[in-house]
Amino acid sequence: MLLAVDIGNTNILFGLFSENTLIFKGRISSDRKITAEQYALEIKGIVGLKNISLESVIGAVISSVVPELTSLIKEAIAILTGVDAIVLGPGVKSGLPIKIDNPAQLGADLVAGAVGAIDKYGAPCLVIDLGTATKISVIDASASYRGCVISAGVGISLNALSGAASLLPVIDINSGSCPVYGTNTVSSMQSGIVQGTAAMLDGMCDKIEEPLGEKDITVVATGGYADAILPYCNRRIIYEPELILWGLKKIYDKN
């Protein structure tokens, strides 16, 4: 089996592949205060809930946007499996031409997501990641990475509203249908965050198509907030919750 791990600012997503099938995925919190041994125990415990053994893991691959956690997770994987994990970065073959000002600055999660989207849906395409930050990756017709849009994520926006304005409460955006405009404080905040983010995604996808010279480009989305936002988008957007894990698997195969 292959163990694929995506380390984000909020969560660490991991999955187990048996050949080309994702047989398990789990999620743990990104905690900078715990040790590699504690991470190993968490991963082993979650996988054990499904009675899956890690003894048959023969390879591992990591993407990370949290450098201080990368070595801890790599060590945890070595403790659990004895495998020296590949860490996505310079020197690792991704098969993705990166045509931005400084290719080394491109986040490993964005590389993996782009590789996964191209493999599943071809190019050109846009890849939306609704995580800690909201990101839109631009893949042109030659399957090259051309650039990205980055804005404050849903969670950051919610925390900023309730934290900076005394009369605005902490709210749940997953509490049922969301109105276009609200009739009370909570529904008005839900509208601004959910409908506002959906409208931004629709509008940015339209705008990106112009310089690319494309129409009705394929749009793929992933990330923890995707299921809350995508139902309110006007564009057809394909939801792929395991997109980054799939991209990591394809990158591992190349290496």
Q: Write out the catalytic residue numbers.
A: 109
Nearest to 28 by CA among 90, 60, 72: 72
**List of residues 6+ apart from 128 with CB closer than 8 A:** 134, 135, 136, 137, 201, 219, 220, 221, 222, 223, 226, 237
Among 122, 97, 93, 22, CA closest to 253: 93
Question: What is the residue whose two structure tokens read 């690319």?
Answer: 212
Q: Where are the beta strands (DSSP E) in 19-132?
A: 21-29, 59-64, 86-87, 125-130
End-to-end CA distance of the chain: 16
Structure-token pair, residue 182: 């609200």
Cβ-contact 209, 215 below 8 angstroms: yes
